[in-house]
Structure 1
Amino acid sequence: MSDVLVFKGDLVLPDRILEGGHVACRNGRITHVGVENPFRNVESIEGKYISPGYVDIHVHGGANADYMDGDSDAVLTSNRCHARHGTTTLFPTTTTGTRQELDAMTSACQAVQNSWRSSDGARIAGVHFYGPYFAEDKVGVHPVEGRRDPVREEYEYFLRKSIVRIATCAAELPGALDFYRFAQRFGCFITCGHSNAHWGELERGFAEGVRHVDHFWCAMSSVSSLRARFGTPMRAGMEQYVLHNEDMSTEVIADGYHLSDELLKFAYDMIGQYRLCLVTDANRALDCPPGEYRFGPQGSGSIVISDGNTVSDPNGGLASSMHGMDHMVRTMASATSAPLHTTIRMASLTPAELAGISADHGSLEVGKTADVLLLSDDLEIEEVYLGGEKFDLQDGGKTPG
């Protein structure tokens, strides 16, 4: 039975912690979840907590690589880095950029996906086509010269690619509704991000398939930003629309620098575990020393500066994050009253459900892929298994800047 693995510890299940449980895996799939060990002649692999692998639907890079570098080596470097932090499945995310840069990125991700092995780190479930269709006043740190309104021939080319599974466009842009219709036709999970949209624009987007807004409170409309756009009477924006519409979901960057503990608590209490997920939004500064980096393509991305804790643009504005999902889980667990299994759900099953991959990923359930984490008492990553194969954590080790 050399192909059988048995994990023993407190199992992090979608709805509870099962103390002293066992997870058995065979041929890369979970075959048993329960108190008893069905393979008594197989030595158990023990940990304090046995958790599902994390799922990240919004991530730009790590270990001095950005997916927008557009080559397989950069993709693999980032994927291995994120596996070290417990992410076993992810959606590489585009920035703004030229069509050629976007094409190189999606092609490199497709190549890595096609040849994936567990030693390659986190598997690619799809690409998140994020930039370039942002509002002019909400571009953030993304290279501004790569921003544009939706271009039909361009987005039809990219959304037809099987690798593209998540699609973002600011709802107020001309052509946004056509973008949403086309994305819905090709089965994408549709989001609105880097947007100054008001309630009515989101309502129209919702009718065409929008079900998510990116990084809550970051680069999104607010009552004050909409007053600057429209004057009075003041208008409701993305925050109010998500809180009001129970069919909308969102995400938070729980790195401790983007959002205060009270905002994380508010998001969890008001939105809940089924509509709120954790993302890293990590850039190439993850696992690198303080210094200057490029956000986006190495040759043309925006200059950002890491102080070893957070990343900012030269004017001090927040610029993505430089922490992995393990850090996000620990921060969210500390900031909120959420039970541990709920916090981990927001980093695993909830994003898997939103992205349409929960049949195979996101939880410790019979029949799913054997992506398993061994966590310590304080939720540090001790071991990572991808499809039942142990990942060498040194493979995702720190890379010089």
Structure 2
Amino acid sequence: MTAPATTTLRGRVVTRDEVIEDGVLALAGARIEWVGPASAWLGDPAPQSDTTILPGLVDLHCHGGAGASFPDSPADDLMTAVRHHRSRGTTTMLASLVSAPPERLIAQTSMLADLYESGDIAGIHIEGPFLSVARCGAQDPASLRSGDPGLLRDIVGAGRGAVRSMTLAPEVDGFAAIAEMLRENDILPSIGHTDADALTTRRGIRALGSGPITATHLFNGMPTWHHRSPGPVSECLAAAARGGMVLELIGDGVHLADETVRAVFDLVGGTRIALVSDAMAAAGMSDGRYRLGPLDVTVHHSVARLSRDTDPETAPIAGGTATVLDLVRRAVQDAGVPLVEAVRAASSTPATTIGLGSDIGCLEQDMRADVLVVDAAFEPIQVIRSGTAIREDS
């Protein structure tokens, strides 16, 4: 058998632990063959470049993009969203659904399972419907319900192994039964859209037992952290600091202030943070009217808010319009997060959280050849997935 040809890239290489200012990344077929300083590379010389070479990015929470919506679009349109994010460097993603009537959740889960089986997505994230009405945000309150093991069983069955993550509130009735089912089916539980106090949150985290846990977009969809009423934020931060939780952050300057993003990185580090887009159909599109599940959304100045409120400045935020690469850029350039930490939170940490850390998420020998090459402004120059260069329309 003929050995695959070697492709070499040279530039500023960001590994799991350091930045190699003048590095070489060698790819052989679908795998990384070698990574290290250019001075140690023994193969054919590669021209010097002022580019930055990152691992392919991993998004654990994404509802769509380029006009397509995972909760709403027909099967033929779902890849449109995948291609948009892939072209911006997200080589691995979970497709997120929102709370909806049971038949809708089951149908969309079944359609997305096809993309999982084809390898185009890494799985499905179910955001609801076992959430707090008081903190529903852009979730349809009419679709929320107590924990229903029968419904979860139907959703998991429709997913044919694709359901990888589920957001639920620890105060909902039936939480314990749902938590047990998630663990039995190796589904990542995520605490979010909750109005729970600190004690209820702590008990919920304990009830989830051993294994990975995430917090769905920390700070958003939960009470503000008050010094006399700390709520879920303090418990999630503490759990992450102990190594027992990964915190999703939508660091786009809309959902969170840059100073908040920097503070969380300082407190728990990139190994406990997953930068997520929470992107909806408007990502990569112009301002206008869109849908997110059963609800209408208006995007103004690239900020998505529910259309039901008369004041567009105070209506609940309804997902994001950025990509994970946008969040890395903002974390580094605006929040002052070290590059290695920001990249770790956008690649190796989320990959490890969903059990894929041995294959993707960092630039190391024998890992899958998922690579993102960017310029000084963090704009994508080249995206490679499994050793193949991709375009937005591919």
Q: What is the TM-score of this pair, normalised by structure 2?
A: 0.90
Query: Is the partner of 1:366 in helix, strand or coil?
Result: coil
Contact 1:24 1:38 in 2 (8 A): no
- How far is 1:310 from its partner? 1.0
The 5 Å alignment of 1:249-328 reads: 249-296=246-293, 301-314=294-307, 315=309, 316-328=315-327
* Deviation (angstroms), 1:279: 0.4
Q: Is the 8 A contact 1:167 1:188 kept in 2?
A: yes
Secondary structure in 1 matching 2:343: helix
Is the contact between residue 4 and residue 29 of structure 2 (CA under 8 Å) also seen in structure 1? no
SS at match of 1:321: coil
Structure 2 unaligned blocks of 5 or more: 310-314
Structure 1 residues 179 and 320: CA distance shift in structure 2, 3 A? same
Deviation (angstroms), 1:223: 5.2
Aligned 8 A contact 1:47 1:374 in 2: no
Structure 1: gaps spanning 5 or more residues: 117-122, 225-232, 397-401
| 1:82 and 2:69 matched | no
Q: 1:45-87 CA deviation, whole Å, 9 max, x = no partner?
A: 9561111011000110001111112533232011001012210
The answer as to whether partners of 1:213 and 1:238 remain within 8 angstroms in 2 is no
Alignment of 1:173 onto 2:168: no
**Are the equivalent residues in 2 in contact too, given 1:159–1:183 (CA < 8 A)?**
no
Contact 1:329 1:344 in 2 (8 A): yes
Whether 2:238 is the aligned partner of 1:215: answer no
Q: Deviations over 1:133-189 (max 9, x none)?
A: 110111111222222111111112323541011122110000011111110111122
**Which residue does the alignment assign to 2:26?**
24
In 1, the alpha carbon distance for the partners of 2:359 and 2:78 equals: 22
Q: Does 1:330 align with 2:334?
A: no
Letter in 2 for 1:49: T
Do residues 59 (structure 1) and 62 (structure 2) align?
Answer: yes
State the distance in 2 between where 1:40 and 1:352 align: 32
Alignment of structure 1 residues 84-233 onto 2, 5 Å? 84-116=87-119, 123-159=120-156, 161-209=160-208, 211-222=213-224
CA contact (8 A) 1:265 1:336 kept: yes
Counterpart residue identity of residue 218, structure 1: N
Give, in whole Å, the separation in 1 of the partners of 2:325 and 2:98: 23
234, 238, 243: which is aligned to 2:232? 238
Three-state SS of the structure 1 residue aligned to 2:97 is coil
1:291–1:234 distance in 2 versus 1, CA, 3 Å: same
* 2:72–2:292 Cα contact (<8 Å) kept: no
- Do the aligned partners of 2:373 and 2:383 also contact (CA within 8 Å) in 1? yes
1:340 equivalent in structure 2: 339
Give the CA deviation at 1:23: 1.3
Residue 364 of structure 2 is aligned to residue 360 of structure 1: no
Alpha-carbon offset, residue 2 of structure 1: 5.7
Deviations 1:292-316 (A, max 9, x none): 11112xxxx2111111321112323
Distance 1:39 1:5 in 2: 10
Instruction: Find the residue that maps to 2:271 and give its secondary structure.
Output: coil
Q: What secondary structure is seen at the aligned counterpart in 2 of 1:220?
A: coil
Question: What is residue 374 of structure 1 aligned with on the other side?
Answer: 373
Q: CA deviation at 1:111?
A: 1.0
1:27-60 CA-to-partner distances (Å, cap 9, x unmatched) read: 201121112445418x679561111011000110
- Indicate how the Cα distance of structure 1 residues 76 and 332 shifts in structure 2: closer, same or farther if over 3 A, else same: same
Moved more, 354-363 or 140-149: 140-149
Post-superposition Cα deviations, 1:100-132, rounded to whole Å, max 9, x if no partner, equal 21122222222122234xxxxxx3111112121
2:152 aligned partner, one-letter code = Y
**In structure 2, what is the Cα distance between the partners aligned to 1:361 and 1:214?**
22
**What TM-score do you get using the length of structure 1 for normalisation?**
0.89
Corresponding residue for residue 399 of structure 1: none
Whether contact under 8 Å (1:268, 1:336) holds in the other structure is no
For residue 11 of structure 2, what is the aligned residue in structure 1?
A: 9
Shift of 1:372: 0.3
Q: Which whole-Å deviations, capped at 9, do the CAs of 1:247-267 have from their partners, x for residues lacking one?
A: 222111111111112111212
The equivalent residue for 1:230 is none
Describe the SS at the equivalent of 2:21: strand
Question: RMSD of the alignment, in Å?
Answer: 2.0
Q: Report the AA paired with residue 172 of structure 1.
A: E
Which secondary structure state, in structure 1, belongs to the residue aligned with residue 247 of structure 2?
Answer: strand
